[in-house]
Amino acid sequence: MAERPTTSWRHGIAHEAEELAAGTLDPDCACMAGLFPEELLAAIDAVLDTFEGDFPGLAEASDTQILAMVERVVLALNTVNEAHNGGAFETDEREQLCDYIDTSLTEHGVDVVALTARHGLERYQLADKWRKW
């Protein structure tokens, strides 16, 4: 099952905290907790909860239904990003979120390559129409 990016980010925060406590990381080099405050992670998880709630029956969904689902999750992530001064997602985070969406759809029976091709897109352009992050 696709791992949420927030899970990875929380692991990174915990790892940094352990290194700080052990004295093996210079506090000036610790950045994870600042990049990913719990308020941000909770907001992203709420968006992904809603996205995952649409998974049942996804394999039988039409292109229009699938694209509407992608649009909803991307627009909701836009809102989260905007609420954090438009800077919540850097390049790595954007890629991880897009990969999570793609992998989740694939795991639930959507042929993302075929879906995007039918709409004149490359696979990794699935979220681009709506994405502002």
The pLDDT averaged over each successive group of 10 residues in the chain (133 residues) is 96 96 94 95 98 94 98 98 89 96 97 97 96 94
- Predicted pLDDT of residue 116: 98
What pLDDT, on a 0 to 100 scale, did the predictor assign at position 62? 98
- Going by C-beta distance under 8 Å and a sequence separation of 6 or more, which residues neighbour residue 61? 69, 110
What per-residue confidence (pLDDT) applies to 63? 98
Q: Could you tell me the pTM of the whole model?
A: 0.93
Dihedral angle, C-alpha 90, 95, 101, 104, nearest 10 °: -130
Count of other CB atoms within 10 angstroms of residue 56: 10
Burial class of residue 25 in the structure, from the number of CB atoms within 10 Å of its CB (0-12 exposed, 13-18 middle, 19+ buried): middle
Give the span between the Cα atoms of 9 and 26, in whole angstroms.
19
Name residues whose C-beta falls within 8 Å of residue 55's C-beta, 6 or more positions apart in sequence.
104, 108
